[in-house]
Amino acid sequence: MTTPNPQSNPASVLTVMAHPDDAELWAGGTLARLAQAGASVTIAVPEHADALRNTEAATAADELGARYHPYPAVNANALHDLLDATRPEVVITHPLDDVHPDHRHVAHTLTSALPEVVIATGRPRRVYTSDTYNGLTSHSPIAAHSVIDVTDTWETKMRALAAHASQPITEHFGPMAETLGRLWGSRIGTRYGENFTPLPVLGRIPAATTL
């Protein structure tokens, strides 16, 4: 487990999540860190029926230094088109065995769209899954793999999360984020961390344990 070398930071990152606050909750510190390093960061979630949720998501993305990109539906065609249009170096999504059915659906739909896009474009080069509720999937705790030090961007993450004011941030998601951040941070000797797990891309996983 290591923190990323600035020279190895990706130039472009796409998060594909199920809900407007997922990227901030599970990867906000890392996205802010990468954006500060000059990466082009895009947060993609299905367009929400509630206009307020979309407004909150755009505000939160701006706080992280990212671009908010609502996509029309969770299906292979929509995600294929999203990947083809953005051609990111790195993609982050939910665990395939996440406890939330919406998260699982997005992750499995994304992975089904990957092979054709990767063969045609060579992108994304790396795919990672994020953390989840209390670090527990439907089968086991999430194993530590690529733990990123997000101490310097933690307050930015929490401001972005707080932008989702219609959600139970103060009483639920905020405390959970704090607990998980301290847990992963303690694994690498820092105050706060976020953990990511690589997924195979055409049978290959990254050689390094960084994004």
DSSP-derived secondary structure for 28-62: HHHHHHHHHTT-EEEEEEEPPSSHHHHHHHHHHHH
Please list the helix, strand and coil fractions of the chain in percent, rounded to the nearest 5, in that order. Answer: 45, 20, 35
Report the CATH number of the 6-199 domain.
3.40.50.10320
pTM of the model: 0.94
Contact 23, 46 (CB under 8 A): no
Does the N-terminal peptide bond of residue 4 adopt cis geometry, omega within 30 degrees of 0?
A: no
The CA distance from 59 to 56, in Å, is: 5
Strands, sheet with 146-149, edge to edge from the N-terminal-most edge strand: 67-71, 40-46, 12-16, 90-93, 126-129, 193-199, 146-149
Radius of gyration (Cα) for the chain, nearest Å?
Answer: 15
User: For position 204, what pLDDT does the model report?
Assistant: 82
Helices and strands, counts by H and E, the chain: 6, 7
- Domain segments of the chain as ranges: 6-199
Could you list the pLDDT tens digit for every one of the 211 residues in the chain?
A: 444 444 478 999 999 999 999 999 999 999 999 999 999 999 999 988 899 999 999 999 999 999 999 998 889 999 999 999 999 999 999 999 999 999 999 999 999 999 999 999 999 999 999 999 999 999 999 999 999 999 999 999 999 999 999 999 999 999 999 999 999 999 999 999 999 999 988 888 776 556 8
User: For position 210, what pLDDT does the model report?
Assistant: 63
